[in-house]
Structure 1
Amino acid sequence: MKVWLFRLLFGAAVLGVIGSAVWNNIATNRLIEQATGTDPAAQVQALQQMAQRDDFFDLIQSRRTPARLRVAEGVERLNSPDAVKIALAMLRDPEPKVRDRFLDALRKIGGNHLEALAEGLKNGDSKVKNGTIQVMSELGLKCLPVALKAFEDSGARDAAGEVLTRFGSASVPGLLKLLRNTQDEGLQLSAISVLGRIGDRRAVDAILPFLKLPPEKRRVVLTALASIADPRTESVLIKAIRSPDEDPDARAQAALGLGQMATPSALRALRAGLEDPNLIVADACVSGFQRAGTKALGMLQDALQSQNAATRRRAVLALGVLNDAQAVAMLTRALNDPDATVRRTAADALGTTGHPNAIPALIAALAHPDGGVARNATRSLVKIGAPAIPALIIQLRSPNPTVAYFAAHALSQIPEAEPALLKAAENPATQRYALVALKERASYAAKPLFERAARSEDPVMRQIAESALQQLSQ
């Protein structure tokens, strides 16, 4: 009797558990249907309930894309912290159009619930974090107080720092207040880093005392000061770039800051830095000179006289961004540097200056005895593009077949060159290499010219034409 009663009670318990699970499953499905449905009132009520569940994202993901998109409409109607919570979670959706729709929803309701929105800054999913940064940046300075508050949280700090950086100078007073009031070294260094990225000179006096930190932490301070590039910190940056004990990346940042200042003493420090044994620092000095612009020409001329080929090459790289006649003249002389790497780098650099004087120098370099220089000059003429076409067309008649071929090869890669090439292919003096260029372009407009050349008495012309026609027929 007792065994029978026990079995009865056990069976009833099992049935109760099963029944409860079935009922919960039915209730959950009904909740999902309402949350993704078309009844506005039912949808809002369902979303309020779902927001309290840890599995609400997975539940919504069980529905097709149109249903998930409808949730965004409900989120906008709900317009509450819970609605923001749901919208943030939906930024993890695998469908880009769903994520974009919930970003729109956050733009509409996030400004009403900023603290809930700021929770997205500490989310571990990069899509949620980046979406939150984007929305807060677009909502503007109304988000500044919550961004500053989030910045104090180590879990949200990096993302909040990005928002504060985007707000620029408006963030500076709040960051300076944090810097003065906190004893948290991590927060201090993060604030210094953001202030550096903003680049506001009001931060300099507050940052300078932190130069007393150990080198591994001082790198953050030096990087910030270099980014701000306040003339008052010139001596600090010069000391840093000259000190092999400083972090190489910090010294590299100092080089960029000195280039921004471009004072005579800053440029002298960069000139010395071009020969630094640390390649990170030496290469950063190139970028520093590039920032200095034409003010750097004197020091770069001096660097071109260095006995060290690597230093001369770095000077050439720095000159390559200067759209200046003097820079072009210096690069033209460097085409005959005793070191092949320097010569070839100069041929490349001439193409990046954007100055018209570079064209005749590069045309002349097509005949350079160093084939690497000639090839790089060809590439630079392609980079210059349309302005180089007339000079290149003239070279198609060069008695030097190598020069004529390099000119043809360059013209084959300049999109605007086809009309000039078709015309040159009618001229006996330029016909052969014009056809070579048109063949390399696979020009259908040149097909009649190839057909005519295929009947030429010149076997080379026939070979070019027949090869081109075969290529066009494939």
Structure 2
Amino acid sequence: MEAKRLQQESGPAKKQQGKKRFNIDLLRAEEDVDGLIEALQSDNGLTRQRAALALGDFGGAGAVGPLIQALGDPLTAVREAAADSLTLLEGAAVGPLVELIENPEASVKYEESPAPGGTATVTGPGGRTWEVETRRDLRRVYAAAILGEIADPSAVDPLVRALHDEHDDLRCQASGAIAKFGRRAVELLAKVLADPDPDVRIVAAGVLGDTGEASAVEPLIGALHDENDDVRGAAAGALIRMGDAAVGRLIDTTKDGDRNVRLYAAGALKYIGDPRAIDALRALALDEDKDVRSVAEDAIDKIQMVRGGMPAEPSPPTSR
């Protein structure tokens, strides 16, 4: 009888004080996917976290749904473990994650009971804190982040469409995810720069700068002509981040007929600090517009100062 009791307690799960306990090490060793999925429902947060991590190693397509459900877990550690495992599952996870960001109601299928009402404070990817009304919103934010890590080309279009979503945090996370696709995202984002919503154009300009792709320079130069001050500022800031890749086109742009464009070009060249721009900036220092002259003179001084070993703190240019 004693031997039988010990055998029962050494198995994958055991009862103690009416609660089921799980031996995650044994479940992992036996690659017991069903047992690990059951462990995701444990009342012990560490057990749920370890189960989520284990499923990323061998859970396969069958683990995707339970892990997406875990993205709504009350504990940050469990949510992040589930996100890490979904990233490891790669292709099996892409379709369901895309569905989450494209259809807000898709999250309902991962709820055993209705999500709690009212507003709750939760901590998500990167330690950011959000006020969300349902676990649905949190899952969608994680879905965008995970798709960026998986970097499957089929996710690019849905992520770009998510820039129009009404949920601010999803738009923010989608923009960061898109930047990780590099060249594949530039063409789509360039089209977004024509969106009627200036907020969407601002995000698109910022993401283009984050891609680091030389092909992003031309659409960003075009965005310096935008009718919205904030869009122009976002484009200028993005060109600054592009650094050397943007210098040649910015030099050409110092001759543009639009004073705002010349102003932003001079400011961007100032903060990039490339000495190749000196001649163009000297020509701008004779510009008919006093603000353009002022920024060009500041840019010349700054570049010469940096070349002398005294770098200045950069910040995006603004129109005057």
**TM-score in same-fold range (> 0.5):** yes
Question: What are the equivalent positions in structure 2 for 1:357-376 lying under 5 Å apart?
Answer: 357-376=215-234
In 2, Cα distance between the equivalents of 1:423 and 1:346? 31
Taking a change above 3 Å as real, the CA distance of residues 385 and 434 of structure 1, as seen in their structure-2 partners, is farther
Residue 408, structure 1, aligned to residue 271, structure 2: no
Question: What are the equivalent positions in structure 2 for 1:118-267 lying under 5 Å apart?
Answer: 203=29, 205=31, 209-213=35-39, 214-217=41-44, 220-222=47-49, 224-226=51-53, 229-242=56-69, 246-247=73-74, 249=76, 250-251=78-79, 253-263=81-91, 265-267=92-94
1:321 to 162, 180, 184: 180
**CA-CA distance at 1:258 after TM superposition:** 2.3
8 Å CA contact 1:422, 1:434 repeated in 2: no
8 Å CA contact 1:362, 1:378 repeated in 2: yes
Counterpart AA for 1:318: A
Residue aligning to 2:158: 302
Residue aligning to 1:344: 202
TM-score, reference length from structure 2: 0.64
Taking a change above 3 Å as real, the CA distance of residues 391 and 350 of structure 1, as seen in their structure-2 partners, is same
In 2, Cα distance between the equivalents of 1:229 and 1:210? 11
TM-score, reference length from structure 1: 0.45
Local SS of the residue matching 1:229:
helix
| Higher strand residue share | 2
Residue aligning to 1:286: 144
Local SS of the residue matching 1:205:
coil
RMSD (CA atoms): 3.8
In 1, Cα distance between the equivalents of 2:72 and 2:239? 44
Local SS of the residue matching 1:398:
coil
Taking a change above 3 Å as real, the CA distance of residues 396 and 245 of structure 1, as seen in their structure-2 partners, is closer
Counterpart AA for 2:44: K
Unaligned runs of 5+ in 1: 1-178, 196-200, 447-474
8 Å CA contact 2:175, 2:203 repeated in 1: yes
In 1, Cα distance between the equivalents of 2:147 and 2:215? 21
Query: 1:97-119, CA deviations, whole angstroms, 9 ceiling, x for partnerless residues?
Result: xxxxxxxxxxxxxxxxxxxxxxx
Higher RCO (CA < 8 A, seq sep 6+)? 2
**CA-CA distance at 1:436 after TM superposition:** 2.2
Residue aligning to 2:250: 392
**CA-CA distance at 1:395 after TM superposition:** 1.0
In 2, Cα distance between the equivalents of 1:191 and 1:344? 50
User: How many residues are matched?
Assistant: 252
Local SS of the residue matching 1:333:
helix
In 1, Cα distance between the equivalents of 2:35 and 2:54? 17
Query: 1:239-269, CA deviations, whole angstroms, 9 ceiling, x for partnerless residues?
Result: 3314787447435543443233221x41121
**CA-CA distance at 1:234 after TM superposition:** 3.2
- Identity across aligned pairs (percent)? 21
**CA-CA distance at 1:215 after TM superposition:** 4.6
1:424 to 250, 261, 280: 280
In 2, Cα distance between the equivalents of 1:240 and 1:181? 20
In 2, Cα distance between the equivalents of 1:246 and 1:445? 55
Taking a change above 3 Å as real, the CA distance of residues 358 and 309 of structure 1, as seen in their structure-2 partners, is farther
8 Å CA contact 2:281, 2:296 repeated in 1: no
8 Å CA contact 1:396, 1:404 repeated in 2: yes
8 Å CA contact 1:396, 1:430 repeated in 2: no
In 2, Cα distance between the equivalents of 1:425 and 1:385? 17
8 Å CA contact 1:382, 1:414 repeated in 2: yes
Local SS of the residue matching 2:44:
helix
8 Å CA contact 2:178, 2:185 repeated in 1: yes
In 1, Cα distance between the equivalents of 2:242 and 2:79? 35
**CA-CA distance at 1:289 after TM superposition:** 0.9
- Bigger Rg, which one: 1
Residue aligning to 2:96: 269
In 2, Cα distance between the equivalents of 1:257 and 1:356? 33
